[in-house]
Amino acid sequence: MNFRLGEFHAFSGGGRRFLYTVPSAGIFELDDTSAAVLARLSQGEATQEELLAAADAETIGELYQARIIATTEAFVDPPQPLPDNFPLQTMVMNLTNQCNLSCQYCYEFGEDKVATPEGKPKFMDFETASASVDYLFTQSAGRHGVHITFFGGETLMNFPLLKKVVDYAKQKAADQGRAIDFSLTTNATLLTPAIIEYLSANEIGVTVSMDGDKASHDKFRVFANGKGSYDIIEPRVRELIKEHKTRPIVARVTMTSQAMDVLGTYRHLKNDLGFHEIGFAPVTTSPNRLYSIDNRGLDSVLDQFGVLASEYLDHALRGEHHGFSNVSDTLAELHQGVNKSHPCGAALGLVGVGPSGDIAPCHRFVDSDTHTLGHVSTGIDKAKQNDFLSRGHIQVKTDCRTCFARPLCAGGCHHEAYVRYGDTGHPNLHYCDWIRGWTNICLEIYGAIAAQNPDFLRHFSDRKAAA
């Protein structure tokens, strides 16, 4: 019986040596003895006697128990069945599928849309909304807190319904002695002082879709007549950030081939406008669209992410907040050691509900006949849900089998996969280099914080990592 290296990703941070164990997602720091064992095994397999020349039995035992080294006898993890019943935690409610902007890249209306809204209601009514809330509460039995995210279309085009839902859901939570919180995503065009006051008073978290300064933002985020929306939203966003005191205000940036200036965008949104956090995501598109980011573009984006990430690290070492949420989100997951069977909570702890009351795996699949899982009045069709979840399970994604990033990535967004490959369960192979590069950057930051300012990691202990 020989020993060999187990599965892990080695990285360093703050001058120390760490391992990210895969797929368990543990992070361990090595000392000289354990590092010597790994150095020996990286030259090839070794017998126990040969290993004992490099280190004592105790070290070898520890490495073996933690599965950092393994024996050459093949061992296959038994497949894990899907949970029968996974309580809901989050419902994304599309209050309307109408929008007052016409962003060319939009996944709801753009060229790659999956939605088939023809003949369906354009605005959700209160009956459907209250049935959705009821559904959320019954299906989340056993959880104390639940969450509703309002979405669109443009969410604020149905603001009167939003207010009613908040009242109804709060009452329901109070009756059951449970907790509920709310957030919404908006393009900010319809914000008024009264709405802002309402959102702040009700502690509703706000994410603004915004792509950067005027030049970047107005490339795609335009009205139907082609006019950019920056000038309309800029004063509203400033007002929102100034007056909404109860929750952090987040900007969500969609990157395209024509807007890849991560650093400039971050500086503008953070320093000029004052957003608390800024998250970036590349546009979801089929590869032939003009705005799709090619590999060279992704490399440049990753470089810029790296610059912002090292700024984040400098802040963290001083114990200060930095608003680059792509880093903080990943660090939170690394800190917990999440090890995902599925890329996200879609169709597990999270569902999207369309204006008609149809249930979809998440907001991006809302109003798509192909992906409907059921209706709030009748519940989810288990067979459809199982089909969606079995396809999306990391164990069936053969391409991911040896990837060190799989505990976090798990193949990536189901919707992105559908747009690219026509199958929600296809791994998003066009992003792998990027995902692995990014995961490594975040691991190095995590390691450096763990070595030099471990107290900072406490911020992540209370934070909920994604389901």
Partner 1 sequence: MKHLRAVNHKARRIQEHIENDVVAMQGPPTPAGQRPHVPMGCSIVFSPGWEVDSSGGTAGLCQPVERDLYDCYISCYWPAQVPDHMNNYPDWTAKCAAATKDWRNIDLVFP
Q: Are 9 and 20 in contact (CB under 8 A)?
A: yes
Is 453 an interacting residue with respect to partner 1 (CB under 8 A)? no
CA dist 393 and 381 (Å) reads 18
- 400 interface partner picked from partner 1, ligand SF4, none, CB below 5 to 8 A per type: ligand SF4
Site for ligand SF4 in 30-89 (CB under 6 A): none
Pick from 105, 72, 98: which is nearest to 209 by CA? 105
Is 26 an interacting residue with respect to partner 1 (CB under 8 A)? yes
Nearer to partner 1, 233 or 408 (CB): 408
User: Least distance from C-beta 54 to ligand SF4, angstroms?
Assistant: 31
Our measurement of the distance from residue 222's CA atom to the centroid of its chain's CA atoms, rounded to an integer in Å, reads 26
What are the start-end ranges of the E strands in 178-317? Answer: 179-186, 205-209, 249-255, 277-282
Site for ligand SF4 in 408-447 (CB under 6 A): 409, 411-415, 427-429, 432, 435-436
Q: Which stretch binds ligand SF4 (CB under 6 A): 70-78, 121-129, 370-378, 404-412?
A: 404-412
Is 400 an interacting residue with respect to ligand SF4 (CB under 6 A)? yes
Site for partner 1 in 59-88 (CB under 8 A): 59, 62-68, 70-71, 73, 75, 78
Q: Which of 219, 406, 420, 426 binds ligand SF4 (CB under 6 A)?
A: 406
Question: CA separation (Å) from 127 to 89, 131, 189, 357, 365?
Answer: 21, 6, 27, 9, 22
Pick from 114, 1, 150, 20: which is nearest to 369 by CA? 114
Nearer to ligand SF4, 59 or 94 (CB): 94
Q: Which of 3, 22, 27, 330 binds partner 1 (CB under 8 A)?
A: 27
Pick from 108, 109, 85, 8: which is nearest to 363 by CA? 108
User: Least distance from C-beta 466 to partner 1, angstroms?
Assistant: 15
Structure token digits, residue 375: 């209706």
Cβ atoms within 10 Å, residue 253 = 24
Amino acid identity, position 246:
T
Is 403 an interacting residue with respect to ligand SF4 (CB under 6 A)? yes
Structure token digits, residue 206: 């706000």
Is 452 an interacting residue with respect to partner 1 (CB under 8 A)? no
Interface residue list for partner 1 (CB under 8 A): 18, 21, 24-31, 33-34, 55, 58-59, 62-68, 70-71, 73, 75, 78, 334-339, 446-447, 450, 461
